[in-house]
Structure 1
Amino acid sequence: MARPSPINLVSPSHRRRSVSLAALLLGLSTLSSCRLTGSGELPPTSSQTIRTATTYLSDQPLLTGKTAPLAAGKALPNGLAVQAGSTLEYNVGAQCRTFSAQIGLASSAAADSTVTYSVLADGRSMFGPSEVRSGAAPQTVNVDIEGVERLKLVVESKSGAKSVQANWKEAKLSGCVTYSGPIEVGPSATSPIVITGNFRSDDPKVPAIRIETTQPVVIRNCTVAGRGHLISNSRAGANVKIQNCRGFGLNPYVRMVNPGRFVAIEDGSSLVVENSYLKNTGGIYLLGGSTRTTTIKILRNRALNIDGRRSDGAGGWLIPAPGDNPEKFVRAQFVQFNKVVGVSDAEIAWNRVENEPGHSRVEDNINMYASSGTPAHRIRIHHNLIRGAYQYPLSLQSYSGGGIITDGCLSRYIDISENTVLETSNHGIAIANGEYVAIQKNRVYGSGLLPDNSFSGGDDNGIYVRWAGNCDQRGINFGSNIVAYNNIGFAQPSAADRARRRDLAIANARSGTPLATATDNSSALPSDSCLICTDSELIKRAITDWEQQAVASGVEVGTQ
């Protein structure tokens, strides 16, 4: 399959035209501070930085399939007529939020005619198959297609009649934007540099937005899509704030290449990501360096399907076999600190992260690797809702990913508190290495099962503390680690024991000293009971409780 190219959706009242880059990048005083690095249509006006344009599929070119001619005297404004047994495919370019339509058979259909309607987004079933009979009232279809490139509309006959006319009335795309090409942000006479707009890169090696300055850069009210990193820096000392942006990772269409990060900052001084939405990206990545990182704030964001899968080069994903897992995926996280040492103001809070089985490949949702706060200013990870961490494909039973973890030699001065961690397969919250780490007042629940009731492939604990054998234990204050007041119900069922529970495990140091002090932790249910068998609503209640707590705290999560 050839790589799809972006389409340009413009409202009927606008003609497509180029605009100056200065008009596109609000808040910049000099044109030289930003430049386009690739080709692409620019938005018709600078006021349309986030548009809610609507376009009808009847006005868009078909990639494959064909519509049916209408009978004489019949009209179907803004609709599509097809014969049963047809598939229409469109390139929607990751530009729109929803597809909607009214579905039903034409009045000319025989009385015994029956068809099914389906909608597929990048090969994934999003609606149907839904059965429709002749004479029935129209049904409404409303499908989320954010970040989707290929949209398929499928009608199949159930009664055997291929000549019956099936209609997609008012078949429209809503919430559409038009992207410009990738940009580089250089020094400006005005500070901070403020960027709004919609940007896209179809080259996996070129980010949609590249930061090449140490001046404060604010990226807000944007939509960003790309086949590699969406936002990254090429110069040490980057100071970046991202607010109210939507980011979509696209299949790279290059074999063995994975979707890029929503934002990747290496050796930066500050990163703030607030009220944004990430879909099918590799998450948020920070690598420490010679620059002292003072501020990291990851607050009130939503993320769907953190993705470390590698492309097969044809629009699909490579399927690892048991012996070649490392070659077929990368370790992606919602947030990864990598050797970020001594950060004085770091907070990851009130984020909602959800990974769907079979459509994601996250390692640890939040990973603190060889990273640290300070004794007076600890890294604070609190009030996050994390749901899901799964192997890909789901049939593989060996999986090391999970919820929140401190790792590396050595992470320290970290508080992990009041998070809700659900269905994260291998582990919920863990100290793989660390000192002065506190895990307190969290809820960690998992059934150990996939939607089809097969085993999820994990084998570890809801909360665990242990020490990697390759890390030196000399001088480590193991008594500084605290695991307290957590409520845990973490099942790891097996064929031999479907009620097997693994809630909490704290290992000893080589000296025999426990690696953490445990105080007043509790089990969600009796520790010898099957979690889902006993309380099938436990996970749903935990989500509802978190949502209600966010409302009570005045917290709005995601884009506004």
Structure 2
Amino acid sequence: MLLLLLTGGAYTSSAQDYQGPFVISRGGTYSGNWESNDSNTPAVSVETSEPVIIENANIRSRGILIRAHTPGINLTVRNSNGYGMTPSQDNVRYGRFLDANNFKNIRLEHNYLDHTSGIYLAHYQGNQSGNETVKIVYNKVSNIDGRTRNGGMERVQFVQFNSVRHVRGVEIAWNQVINEPYKSRVEENVNFYLSNGTSDSPMLIHNNYIQGAYPSNPGSETDYGGGGINMGDGNTSDMDAAPGFMKAFDNHIVSTGTQGICVSAGHDMEFYNNRIINSGYLADGTYIRCNNVGIYIMKSGGSNDIFYNNRAYNNTVGYVNRSTNGDRQRNDQYLPDANERHNYSLNVELPFLITRDTEKAEYVLWETKLRVNGVVVGPTSGSSAPAPLQPLLRVQPLLPLQHQIQVAAAKSYRVARTSL
């Protein structure tokens, strides 16, 4: 390690064993197998603003896997595996795959994340060009987990932006995220807190498959605010800090707790052509007590908070929850503060019964979409996967004939709606 720290450049370790915590203090390309058995020590620490590439690596940790807090971080992680291990002490959650603060460029592509607490990005310091941005693409993710070993939890996400502002070229795309009940504890899978793109280059969240957002005990807990994607979070009257300028489209959101996609703060956000499916039940028949609504646009703050020009249209929604007397019901949309307030005809509410089989069919649709577009998620053994075909080939769900007829009439179909 001493030679590496003096010279920088490329570094490769044996594929058969793991080395202890590893510090990168110079730019270069690094491959290896690193671990930390101490929740207070990252497996990899990036302590340079020079460009760093971590590739073909295996990283496991009882705390943070990759920590990058040096101002001006310029980091790429690709074709690597990250494994969260049980924390080494009480009251500490599973570690983030990447915890980056004061960064200027982050690119995460073709990685596999298992039992981590996801990706945390705070305080962008780049030059606001497309060359200094955030790209999180082609990753495969299992069980984002904010639980502690002694029964507690912290709110964690697959991707959390915090005060990432005025960034051009942001893209979160072609990621597959599957969280299993009782094996994970994610809040929103993707959350943008006081973060924004620009009017000429909005943040793009597209072609992701997100399945599962549950509290630790989904059969009994109701105090839970997690879900699929929250595009605007964090209340403020400061235009510079307010969430804004984002687009979410062509995503598949399945069985995600309180909501599928929402906007609760900010401006100039739109989501469209997404599919939100929720049967309301686990595989063993357990009802998910925190179920609420498929999509919503509703201001969560006070009168002086910024909230305008937020839209939802052409989304396909089938979301089940229960009424106060326990009856199964649909709650697909709630749009009191959308640009087109309460205009539910802009989205398609699936008119047939939403079941676990409907959820399973959505994953088949996703796999077909990957195949016809030539997309590979997760590590590619060091080789580059092909980029999606242009234009994107959309895959239509295969439904029984009677369901196709019902879908054609869906815009005239209305179900009971309840407020949040």
For the superposition of Structure 1 and Structure 2, which TM-score range results when normalised by the shorter chain? 0.7 to 0.9
1:182–1:439: structure 2 CA closer, same or farther, 3 Å change rule? same
Deviation, 1:291, is 5.1
Identify the residue that residue 374 of structure 1 maps to in structure 2. Answer: 198
Residues 1:537 and 2:357 aligned together: yes
Residues 1:31 and 2:6 aligned together: yes
Counterparts of 1:131-530 in structure 2, within 5 Å, are: 177-187=16-26, 192-288=27-123, 292=127, 294-312=132-150, 318=151, 328-394=152-218, 395-406=220-231, 407-409=233-235, 410-470=242-302, 472-473=304-305, 476=307, 478=308, 480-494=309-323, 496-508=325-337, 520-526=346-352, 530=353
Identify the residue that residue 105 of structure 1 maps to in structure 2. Answer: none
1:416–1:471: structure 2 CA closer, same or farther, 3 Å change rule? farther
CA displacement, residues 414-450 of structure 1 (integer Å, 9 cap, x when unaligned): 0000000000021000001121111100000001112
Q: Are 2:265 and 2:301, in contact at CA under 8 Å, matched by a contact in 1?
A: no
Deviation, 1:494, is 4.8
What secondary structure is seen at the aligned counterpart in 1 of 2:365? Answer: helix
Question: Aligned residues: percent identity?
Answer: 33
What secondary structure is seen at the aligned counterpart in 2 of 1:541? Answer: helix
For 1:360 and 1:557, locate their aligned partners in 2 and report how far apart those are by CA, in whole Å. Answer: 21
1:300–1:415: structure 2 CA closer, same or farther, 3 Å change rule? same
For 2:260 and 2:310, locate their aligned partners in 1 and report how far apart those are by CA, in whole Å. Answer: 17
CA displacement, residues 453-475 of structure 1 (integer Å, 9 cap, x when unaligned): 2221224210000111246246x
Q: Are 2:58 and 2:82, in contact at CA under 8 Å, matched by a contact in 1?
A: yes
1:178–1:470: structure 2 CA closer, same or farther, 3 Å change rule? farther
Deviation, 1:411, is 1.0
Deviation, 1:368, is 0.9
Output the amino acid matched with 2:221.
Answer: L
Q: Are 2:58 and 2:80, in contact at CA under 8 Å, matched by a contact in 1?
A: yes
Q: Which consecutive segments of 4 or more residues in structure 1 shift more than 4 A?
A: 46-49, 289-293, 513-519
What secondary structure is seen at the aligned counterpart in 2 of 1:181? Answer: coil
TM-score of the two chains, using structure 2 as the length reference: 0.83
1:417–1:289: structure 2 CA closer, same or farther, 3 Å change rule? closer
Q: Are 1:32 and 1:186, in contact at CA under 8 Å, matched by a contact in 2?
A: no
Gaps of 5+ in 2: 236-241, 381-420
For 2:214 and 2:227, locate their aligned partners in 1 and report how far apart those are by CA, in whole Å. Answer: 8
Q: Are 2:69 and 2:103, in contact at CA under 8 Å, matched by a contact in 1?
A: no
Q: Are 1:233 and 1:265, in contact at CA under 8 Å, matched by a contact in 2?
A: yes
For 2:357 and 2:291, locate their aligned partners in 1 and report how far apart those are by CA, in whole Å. Answer: 23
What secondary structure is seen at the aligned counterpart in 2 of 1:491? Answer: strand
Q: Are 1:423 and 1:448, in contact at CA under 8 Å, matched by a contact in 2?
A: yes
For 1:557 and 1:240, locate their aligned partners in 2 and report how far apart those are by CA, in whole Å. Answer: 20
Output the amino acid matched with 1:483.
Answer: A
Identify the residue that residue 378 of structure 2 maps to in structure 1. Answer: 558
For 2:344 and 2:310, locate their aligned partners in 1 and report how far apart those are by CA, in whole Å. Answer: 9
Output the amino acid matched with 1:184.
Answer: V
What secondary structure is seen at the aligned counterpart in 2 of 1:489? Answer: strand
Deviation, 1:185, is 1.0
1:386–1:538: structure 2 CA closer, same or farther, 3 Å change rule? same
CA displacement, residues 81-134 of structure 1 (integer Å, 9 cap, x when unaligned): xxxxxxxxxxxxxxxxxxxxxxxxxxxxxxxxxxxxxxxxxxxxxxxxxxxxxx
Deviation, 1:519, is 5.9
For 1:515 and 1:337, locate their aligned partners in 2 and report how far apart those are by CA, in whole Å. Answer: 28
Deviation, 1:205, is 1.4
Q: Are 1:482 and 1:518, in contact at CA under 8 Å, matched by a contact in 2?
A: no
1:47–1:204: structure 2 CA closer, same or farther, 3 Å change rule? closer
Q: Are 2:318 and 2:354, in contact at CA under 8 Å, matched by a contact in 1?
A: yes
Q: Are 1:427 and 1:458, in contact at CA under 8 Å, matched by a contact in 2?
A: no
For 2:345 and 2:287, locate their aligned partners in 1 and report how far apart those are by CA, in whole Å. Answer: 31
What secondary structure is seen at the aligned counterpart in 2 of 1:492? Answer: strand
Counterparts of 1:62-101 in structure 2, within 5 Å, are: none
CA displacement, residues 202-256 of structure 1 (integer Å, 9 cap, x when unaligned): 1111111111111000000000011111001131110000001100111113110
Gaps of 5+ in 1: 1-19, 23-27, 35-45, 52-176, 313-317, 319-327
1:375–1:308: structure 2 CA closer, same or farther, 3 Å change rule? same
Output the amino acid matched with 1:450.
Answer: L
Deviation, 1:495, is 7.1
For 2:127 and 2:95, locate their aligned partners in 1 and report how far apart those are by CA, in whole Å. Answer: 25
What secondary structure is seen at the aligned counterpart in 2 of 1:538? Answer: helix
For 1:425 and 1:380, locate their aligned partners in 2 and report how far apart those are by CA, in whole Å. Answer: 23
Identify the residue that residue 401 of structure 2 maps to in structure 1. Answer: none
What secondary structure is seen at the aligned counterpart in 1 of 2:366? Answer: helix
Look at both structures and tell me which one has the larger radius of gyration over its CA atoms.
1
Output the amino acid matched with 2:139.
Answer: N
CA displacement, residues 58-94 of structure 1 (integer Å, 9 cap, x when unaligned): xxxxxxxxxxxxxxxxxxxxxxxxxxxxxxxxxxxxx
What secondary structure is seen at the aligned counterpart in 1 of 2:371? Answer: helix
CA RMSD of aligned residues (A): 2.1
Q: Are 1:398 and 1:457, in contact at CA under 8 Å, matched by a contact in 2?
A: no
1:518–1:473: structure 2 CA closer, same or farther, 3 Å change rule? farther
Output the amino acid matched with 1:329.
Answer: M
What secondary structure is seen at the aligned counterpart in 1 of 2:182? Answer: coil
1:518–1:436: structure 2 CA closer, same or farther, 3 Å change rule? farther
Output the amino acid matched with 2:296.
Answer: Y
For 1:558 and 1:426, locate their aligned partners in 2 and report how far apart those are by CA, in whole Å. Answer: 28
